[in-house]
Structure 1
Amino acid sequence: MIRIPRQPDYHSGKIAFSYAGSVWMANEDGTNPRRLTVNAARDVFPRFSPDGKWIAFSSNRYGNYDVFVIPADGGEPKQLTFNSANDTVVGWSRDSKNVIFNSARGRVYPGVLSLYRVAVAGGLEVPLDGDWGYWGSYSADGLRFVFNRHAPTWWRKHYRGSYAADLWIEDVKAKTFRKILDQNVADEMKTNNTWPQYGNGEIYFVSDRQVSAKAGTREVLRSTNNLWKVPEIGGKPVQLTHFDDGSLFFPSISADGKIIVFEENAGLWKLDTVTGKVNEVRIEIGTDSKENNFEVLHINGEADSYGLSPSSQRAAISAHGEIFTIATEHGDVSRVTHSYSRETEPTWSPDGKWIAYVSDEGGRDSVWVADSDGSNAKKLTDTDNEKLNIGWMPDSKAVYFTSSDHGLYIVDAGGGQPRKIASNDAGNILGSHVSPDGKWFAYAKQDRDLRAHVHIVSAQGGEEHRLNDDLLFSTLAPRWTPDGKKLIFLGGYVQGGSATLRENAAALYSVSLSEEEKDPMSRDIDSESAAESTERADSSRGGRAAAVEAHAVEVKIEFGGLER
């Protein structure tokens, strides 16, 4: 049996529905299913004309969703609308000459849906009489039209509020409107009354109104979508179905008002409005997919994060949810991850053996490490928060990261429990960076005014030291120099929150971490001996000796004398 047949409609023993992006039709007992449309695009919301000769549907085969019609027995689709806004088929006029659809074309306000009709014979769309409009249905004589004025977020369960989908009836000749339900209900108690269908003096609709509860209470969570009806003149609604999963969507009534078909918990169901009998329509489909099981992608310019190898000859990048390594100049591309999850934020260990990254395999962000060729992948964290700013300790034995619980953590590359180093009440830790000797962390964190300030803390945790930045509005993005003697950071007029509406301005600053023998701002060479001394010092910093020297760095910080 197929799962998730979508947006069904009924006419004279036949059910039209959308499945796997195509329009299908089957007998009302589920037998003899056959595909009516075949296109790589999505064809949705099929609706029979009242005379049974046509099926209207929406398709995005030319970009956005437009209205199309085909003969009910199948045939070449005919496009009726050509607007850049999405057009969703709702139903038909009773004479089968016009398709009713909703669209947000800015008629009332940008983004607000209104109802329109378009002739099967072709021509310009014509707005219906109301202003806003989401869904609707004509009475059998075509003299009345029931509709939702407010458009619900249909997949949002348990909603209570002023924007709940409401039921209105229009007298088509008089062009007058009246609300037929919940006129005197407080906003905090109003439920969605969605997808109204006109049938023999009754209005059928979907609602979770069986639970009378205020928005935000525990009681409201017991509410579930079911089919209801109310007399067209108004009155007390009557519940028709009693499903308890809350997943009843998109009902549609037959032209004679006797049958309603609808989605329920990823299946297709039918209600006889005369007897009240409800039964599932089970459909078996064995067919070839319209698309290949595998797709070859050509990715160019889509890397969303990267990390250089220690030699800078290769880089680890994330693109299309996977981790790759590439040569920075000449060389082959190597794929590191092979999963259906999203992997990002790759960073190479200093010894070049490992790549750490973030993956949502398992349903939530976790820090993983793998060999640089992708083998021996291992998950290091299992906490329910977003992982950010991944980095390695200088000895390649541990990984540090920040997370959306406002913490800075270290976790051993071999596994174990993450250890919290620092935290912040106002927001996430920003731009953490470990010192060359692995003993200190520098990072920025916001105060309660959302002004960021650079802090330093021991890699073992403990007391934080805020950089003396009283002369600057905020400081952020700290980075240690390779010799560990200075901290480089941004400072200036930078702030989060609504203050980002103005232009931020920052400059690059450095601070000496211990007392210096000469003025760090001095660039003077006053003699040839000074020039020769400078040249010897510069040459000694290059090559493999520099790497050995860097490995032996010991960072010394005199917190009492930190000055810019």
Structure 2
Amino acid sequence: MTKQESHRFSCGSVNIRCYLFIPILLILLACGGDPTIERGKAFLKTGDTTSAIQQFQAALKQNPSNAEAYYQLGLAYEGLGDATQAATAFRDATKLAPKRAEITLALGRVYWHCGNRSVALTEFQSLLSGSPKKEILLQIAGLTGDTYHVQRIRTEGSDDYEQTFTEKGNMMTFTAKYTDDYSPAISPDGKWLAFASNRLENAELYLMDLTTRTLQQLTHTDELDEYMPAFSPDGKSIAFVSERTRGGMMLPSVQASGSDPRTATIYLMDVDGRNQRPLIDIEGAQRAPVFSPDGQQIAFESRKDEVTSPAENNDTLEIHIIHIDGTNKKQLTHNDVDDGHPTWAPNGKQIVFTGMVDDIYQLFSVNAGGGSVKQLTFENASHYHPAFSPDGKRILYVSNAHNRYTLWTMNVDGTNKTQLTNHIGAHFEPSLSRDGKTLVFSSDRSDHMRIYLMDFTKPVQIQALKARLADF
């Protein structure tokens, strides 16, 4: 399936009089821009790495002392996974522009990911020895651990055995100590946490007060699994997924899949668990519900409504929207591979989702009313679980870059990526409070899958980061 940074030129107060006989190229150069590099960056942004490399090499042929060309060339090779070529380009760039922190950071990053930690640490420590900008601190923090303060939420409660009545009235003894908690969702006001747990052998939904840490079970269905909760914008309702039980398996859906599960249905309920009712009453699999900003619609992933041609695959997932009363269901994507995990932009106009290209999951956007799809990421790593920042300028997501499932954030156009976690274990399902201060996610960094909270008001401080690097 095929789906598809502009540089701002500033000349300060210099006035350039444009004569017809002056080539445009000279004007651009006078403003500090190199059109060859700009073309390369444009190619790089759209995933055409080969053409980008050709442009950067052409720029270096014109001017072998062009540090920016070496830097961009290094980024291109890094994107291809060619650490040797990337490191060479970044080293050449640092020789020409030793004070450019982003180049030193890039060189250290390549060394870090290829296992040459001692050299990488030397580069990082050289940056921290000065007065680095916040973005440089966060980049180093994300490469070496967590960028912000992270704490585990003890959703499992007591380590002791507890008893509960099942839906059928049977007494069940259990402990949550050795089971998995996952699929977290934080309420818009940041006060409540909804999550799934298989502590009762099947997956049920729970609600926790994040202030008092009191816990309430929302669903009681012995033969069903409930997961993927999503709060309505007013915090009064929760949408969730229900499917036939699968023997107490943990179900943190990492990727969209047209074949798993075979059947799943989206339900709605009040935040206290009452008034549970199906949103959709059709065959197939509907999952990953998310409310529109006005609370009147829900976007979700679902199999196609119908096959329009004999060659079309009806076993893939597509993005749909539906009114909260179950009417006006509309399909937004029409592809031969999976599209899933939608998230609604705060302005209500766009939906970002995960889609597959050449067996790699990338992030795409589509207008909420339908239309053409725009590809946002082009890396050789898969991207999952997108979530918008409250101001709509950033997207949080999961990436398996460097063979680890970690949390990242980027601009809405796919640029300026920052890694948020690089801790032992995998990290999934980010959910952000409306004020953008609190992020919850699931991770097995403590053996079993648990829920963690990242506090965006508490970034890693430089002294703590220096101490972290000293421990490697």
Q: What TM-score do the two structures reach when normalised by structure 2?
A: 0.45
Which structure has greater helix proportion? 2
- Larger CA Rg, structure 1 vs 2: 1
Q: What TM-score do the two structures reach when normalised by structure 1?
A: 0.38
Which is bigger in relative contact order (C-alpha 8 A, separation at least 6)?
2
